[in-house]
Amino acid sequence: MPDKILIVDDDIDSLKLIGLMLQRHGYEVSAANAGNQALSKATAEHPNLIILDVMMPDMDGYEVCRRLRANPETKAIPIIMFTAKTLVDDKVAGFEAGADDYLTKPTHPAELASRVKNILARNTGQKRPETNKGYAIGVLGAKGGVGTTTIALNLAAAFVLRGENAILADFRMGAGAIGLHIGFPQSTGMANVISKASGDIRSNTIEPELVTHQSGLRALLSSPRPREATTNFAVDSMLAAVRALRTMGRPAVFDLGSGLTPTVTRLQREMDQVILVVEPNPVALSLAREILRELESDSAGGRIQVVVVNRAQSSIQTPWPEVENSLGQELRAIISAAPDQVFQAMRAAVPFVVYQPNTVISSQMMKLSEDLNTRIKTLAGGETRP
């Protein structure tokens, strides 16, 4: 994933200009136009670098810098002070506040790019609290009714059976079904978390909202109450929840629902792996092709995995070689039709991989978790991230 740079400036034109220059060099850009907003975003987003203007209306850049350095979660993030002030005393004040470098406006794009590159290179490999990002797996349906929630729930449960400390999170606000599957129908943990400001969302504020299933699986749940879907939750708070959860679970598995809404599009970029759940019929495959185009346009190769769910035995379903040819992608897993087993497990409020571990579909889910676990270890340099 590209390095993320947070730009802080109350001048909208400067934000746009600097952001555009950095995006052209392949960086991901976030922006804040006030000091307090910068502090919240830095805590929630853990950027790799902050470019900080000195003169702002609510809090000057020196004070922002001092507060960033005083916060254990942000103290190691490199900071470039960026201002029109040119006096030596101003630069000294910046360095004393904790800045790593100092640039004066206006600056040449090549100089800015060079300074950014050098600072990022200098900090590569250093131990920083925000580098422990954990591992996140998002489960996304090509359309509604393809079994997205069932896959997310049983994938997380399969990791628990493998001895991993997995956490499951439900982002289907107002349509949360995971709680209904495992006996917590009224849990509003997710809404309670993301109703907070992004800077207040940390592992210690999420922990009390988790429920623990008898299988050992921990989950942050959405409720099925429609009113929850009408609440205007901030995307920054949702992102902060994702980043905190991924450090708490090994891995963190997210039910993202179906289709690419603007919010889901942003959330899926935080995922190390995205499982696209597809049913082998023409409508679902057509929708899946469009989603794959969008996902692959801003994804590194190998991040998107396709899982086909046969929800019923039928001779009219598309054979798997044709599914691969239609989507232009190898299938990561094919889950057999077993509606009776899924229903029995649901009635018992237990994931089917736990309730009936010796069935074919349970073996298929365990194999999927094994494959993903191998990818996690490979990407983490030989071991899963703590």
Section 331-346 average pLDDT = 91
- Identify the structural domains of the chain with CATH numbers, from first to last: 4-130 (3.40.50.2300), 134-379 (3.40.50.300)
Cβ contacts of 307 within 8 Å, gap of 6 or more: 151, 275, 276, 277, 278, 331, 332, 333, 334, 335, 368
pLDDT (tens digit per residue) in 227-282 = 888 888 999 999 999 999 998 988 999 999 999 999 999 999 899 999 999 999 89
For 308-325, the pLDDT digits (tens) are: 998 766 555 778 788 889
N- to C-terminal Cα separation, the chain? 19
Reading the block at residue 310, the tokens are 């046969």
Quote the CA–CA distance of 220 and 189 in Å, as a whole number: 6
pLDDT of residue 183 exceeding 70: yes
The confidence score (pLDDT) of residue 124 equals 60
Give whole-number Cα distances, 96 to 7, 63, 69, 93, 180, in Å: 20, 11, 11, 5, 55
Could you tell me the two tokens for 299? 């994804």
Provide the pLDDT for residue 167. 95
Please give the mean pLDDT across all residues of the chain. Answer: 86
Considering only CA atoms, give the Rg of the chain: 23
- Among 281, 331, 324, 267, which Cα is nearest to 305's? 331
pLDDT over 90 at 375, yes or no = no
At 129, the pLDDT band (50, 70, 90 cuts) reads very low
Q: What percent of the chain has pLDDT over 90?
A: 48
For residue 179, pLDDT beyond 90: yes
CA dihedral 10, 14, 18, 24 (to 10 degrees): 120
- Model confidence pLDDT, tens digit, residues 11-56: 888 888 888 889 888 889 999 989 889 998 898 888 999 999 888 8
pTM (2 decimals)?
Answer: 0.67
One-letter identity of residue 311: R
- Highest mean pLDDT of the ranges 104-108, 119-123, 190-194, 324-328: 190-194
Q: In what order do the strands lie in the sheet with 28-32?
A: 28-32, 4-8, 49-53, 79-83, 101-104
Res 383 pLDDT > 80:
no
Rounded distance, CA 276 to CA 156, Å?
Answer: 15
d(CA 332, CA 53): 47
Could you give the dihedral angle defined by the CA atoms of residues 371, 375, 378 and 383, in that order, rounded to the nearest 10 degrees?
Answer: -80
pLDDT digits (tens, 9 = 90+) for 154-168: 999 999 998 888 999
Q: How confident is the model at residue 128 (pLDDT cuts 50, 70, 90)?
A: very low
